[in-house]
Amino acid sequence: MQKALGASRGLAGFPAPSGHTTGFVQSSSPAGPCFTVCLQLSTASRCGPQMRGSASYSSLVIWSYLSRLRWAVLLLFSSYSLCNAFQWIQYGSINNVFTRFYGVSAFAIDWLSMSYMLIYIPLLFPVAWLLDKRGLRLIALAGSALNAMGAWVKLGSLKPHLFPVTVLGQVICGLAQVFILGMPSRIASVWFGSQEVSTACSIAVFGNQLGIAVGFLVPPVLIPNVEDVEKLAYHISIMFFMTAGVASALFILVIIVFKEKPPNPPSRAQALIQSRPAAEYSYVQSILRLLRNANFLLLMVTYGLNVGCFYALSTLLNRMVIHHYPGEEVNAGRIGLTIILSGMAGALISGIWLDKTKTYKQTTLVVYIMSLVGMIVYTFTLSLDHLWVVFVTAGLLGFFMTGYLPLGFEFAAELTYPESEGTSSGLLNVSAQIFGIALTISQGQIMDRFGTKAGNLLLCSVLFLGTIMTAFIKADLRRQQANLENEQTVSKPPFNTCCAPAFSSGQHLTSPLSRKRGGFWGSSLLAFSNWM
């Protein structure tokens, strides 16, 4: 049950003093009674019968319950994001094998990866609008359903002349990606408290990166480079069947497990957003405000440059490695795996670091600089004829370049609060797709004409430009400022008779009411409100 306090009503039915802030008391939870107090009560006299009419609300305090379901939602999203990312790179990781099987050019196989990027650009805005209007659950259902559908369509392309069918399946999976890429920061903010939000966003991105890692590792193992086309089709069918089965199981789990939002807001920032009347929000105005935000525009370009380099590197990695190390398809996949696994570690460490320090600008700049350093080192060691050196330098590059992805989402959420995280992250991803297509085509053409080193030097120059631009972004941390205003987050229902609340804010465990003059009576009044 939830009691809303209007201008004429105070706590638990007491009249609110005129000219003071009122809020709401909430007492519903799947795990037991809990409530959110959006007011702080100060009394001029001892609480009791004389309290009526004598209270004043001096400041805003939020008690927010963290749902136990949040980790299941995050894990499920990461899982179907993993499956979708696997389908993105499964062709590019064995480019030479699919080129021979379908009898098409390497550039045509590259377009199977670039189709993801191309599809995302025009569909971002309608999907982001749906996310704002209909919420997380509908977007999750659509993304997981399209992901499974695309996987099943690919099973109809197991003959060399059926390349258009595999293109259709990949296009459907690309549609699914539009419903996935903008979700990490939104899930993190809707389901997680302010001390967990960056870590949660990193884990959400972590799933997508793990999918790319599996996409580099599994296809070269399942599909050997054999001459017999029938055997090749058999091995390809195994991969396609496994993918379709996993994608279908995840879709069913999304239907059962994935919820729109927790019963109570997990942070002050989220509570303020949820309390905003729907009539006050305009999607078009939100986009226009974002495009007038100079810091966000700088971040959008720098994010696109960095992630675009990552997309180009991932798509063309097989061609790079095979050029210098012929017959090393399996090791090419392992090098890609190394890039992604080290990047996942970087992303997780970055998320934890941000939750602890909130140094968004400094961390983003350092990671960007190290991405540039890693790219330079990788460029000049790729041709040394020592595969182990390539593994080491690729790991260094991946740790920072891939680790940058969640940093961009979280920095954008800070710079643009209270705008929707789905809109800001969507614009970042559009920038990444545009630069990804441009850099993949440009680097591929340069590699064909001037060699792999020249192509990688293009990426180095792009990362250098991005580093300079990142230095000019100002750390206007709006979301953090909102959360710092007296937020208190409980990991267990407060005022439970069998346990005391646990706070993540580090503030004293006594409630705001009981710290006032009538401490015992203030606590009793709050307990009575909770019981009501």
pLDDT digits (tens, 9 = 90+) for 128-187: 888 878 888 999 999 999 999 999 999 999 999 999 999 999 999 999 999 998 788 788
Strands 487-490 and 62-65: parallel
Domains of the chain: 2-61+486-531 (no CATH), 70-481 (1.20.1250.20)
Mean pLDDT of 10-35: 39
Nearest to 365 by CA among 408, 426, 417, 396: 408
**What is this structure's pTM?**
0.67
pLDDT digits (tens, 9 = 90+) for 77-97: 999 999 999 999 899 888 888
Q: Which backbone phi and psi does 286 adopt, to 5 degrees? A: -60, -45
20 three-class SS: coil
526 three-class SS: helix
* pLDDT in the model for residue 78: 92
Name residue 61's amino acid.
V
Q: How many residues does the chain have?
A: 532
* pLDDT in the model for residue 186: 83
* pLDDT in the model for residue 279: 57
* pLDDT in the model for residue 277: 63
Tokens of 372: 């540039």
Place of tokens 């201008």: 7
Q: How does the average pLDDT of the chain come out, rounded?
A: 77
**Omega before 220 within 30 of 0, i.e. cis:** no
65 three-class SS: strand
283 three-class SS: helix
Name which residue leads in pLDDT, 361 or 491: 361
In this prediction, residue 98 has a pLDDT band, given cuts at 50, 70 and 90, of very high
> For residues 89 and 215, is the Cβ–Cβ distance under 8 A?
yes
pLDDT at 10 over 70: no
* pLDDT in the model for residue 355: 76
* pLDDT in the model for residue 505: 38
Cα atoms in the Cβ-side hemisphere of radius 13 Å centred on 413: 29
Spatial separation of the C-alpha atoms in residues 325 and 227, rounded to whole Å: 20
26 three-class SS: strand
Spatial separation of the C-alpha atoms in residues 234 and 181, rounded to whole Å: 32
* pLDDT in the model for residue 278: 58
Spatial separation of the C-alpha atoms in residues 389 and 386, rounded to whole Å: 6
Mean pLDDT of 291-311: 91
pLDDT at 308 over 50: yes
How big, in percent rounded to 5, are the helix, strand and coil portions of the chain? Answer: 70, 5, 25
Place of tokens 């499956």: 83
> For residues 5 and 22, is the Cβ–Cβ distance under 8 A?
yes
pLDDT digits (tens, 9 = 90+) for 487-528: 544 444 444 434 444 343 333 333 333 333 344 334 333 343
Name which residue leads in pLDDT, 212 or 7: 212
pLDDT at 373 over 90: yes
Mean pLDDT of 435-447: 91
> For residues 383 and 324, is the Cβ–Cβ distance under 8 A?
yes
